Structure 1
Amino acid sequence: MQELMKSNDVDYIIIDSEKLLNETEEGLSRVIGIVDNLRSFSRVDEEAEKGEVDIHKCIDSTLKIIESKIKYNCNIVKDYGESITVKGEAGKLNQVFMNLLVNASQAIDDQGEIRIKTEVRDNKAIIKISDTGKGIEDKHLETIFDPFFTTKKVGEGTGLGLSIVYGVIEEHCGKISVSSQVGVGTTFKIVLPSFVS
């Protein structure tokens, strides 16, 4: 029996099997996390289209979904104020944050920072997303939310992302504005009606 166990390297198989099972369990946990984040992102399991939306949960969920796109060149800094809840559609607000965060990461050539700051003032939720990217020229700031407007190369962008963002924010009775300085970075500011949770 001992010779048979040695010839088949049973000790190694037992040790390796334990390691493989641990890695499999870890992999399954990751898959569960990804599915939960996707469900949270799209809100596919919600019956009502509009409801109470936790802004911080929306942003965190979006960051997890796009992590592989932004982790190599961006350091994310979250400066969250008190908990913010708004009435709206979580899926659409997630789309807003995804477009703004991906755009911010694409504006950074090598290494940079994306700062997300939230606060409540006069029953308004204020969300600022700033990057240390290349910035936007003044001549483009007035048309940046127009459909099909893009400063990207042909084939790299549709020019619809910020137009969709603008429409969603308007649907939620909010406002979005942008300030930028070439070579320094860009800040998008969203203001939404809110109630503090």
Structure 2
Amino acid sequence: MIVNAGSPYTDRLRDLLVDMLLAAGDTPGAVRVRREEFARHPTAAGYRSLIDTVETAGGDDPAAWALGMLRDRITQQPAYASELVDVLLAVGRDDQAWEEALHHRWWLGGPQWQTLLARRAATHPEEAIQPYRDLVEQAILNSADKRRYRRAVALLPALRAVYQAIGEHAAFGQYLAELRVEHKRRPTFLNPITG
């Protein structure tokens, strides 16, 4: 039976093949299957599968190879930047993940960006202020989102925490005052933050 790449069974069949190769003692073959799949479709999930197989097989750490593969792919398909950020985080290269995220910001999804931003705020709070402010502004101005004001207000506690972490308690109050003036024509937005 031939299974095409878009089949819902492809991943499961690949996992079974890898398990069979490992059980037969063909650890290089199992690693090769994972590497070939990652080369075709370099994702964070594919990287995790590759790492699991390499750890079982006792092979060399594929991080440098995988990161190089992702960086090459991004030059042609920038949407893979989100996968690169996830792999960098997985291998503990948080600073590189942050730099890549800043460079490829528009290719990261909102939840991924917010998770990365919260992680960065814990170690480098001063670097998180402007990105949080940008997120608040984007949420306010996103006229396609009926919950935009609620989303903007939900970001404010994290932004306040960042200001507090750097000892700028009054600066957050000043930011809110400026936000109120700037968006005075949006009373629906202002109601939750004035209370």
Return the TM-score normalized by structure 2.
0.31
Give TM-score scaled by structure 1 length: 0.31
Q: Which structure has the highest strand share of the two?
A: 1
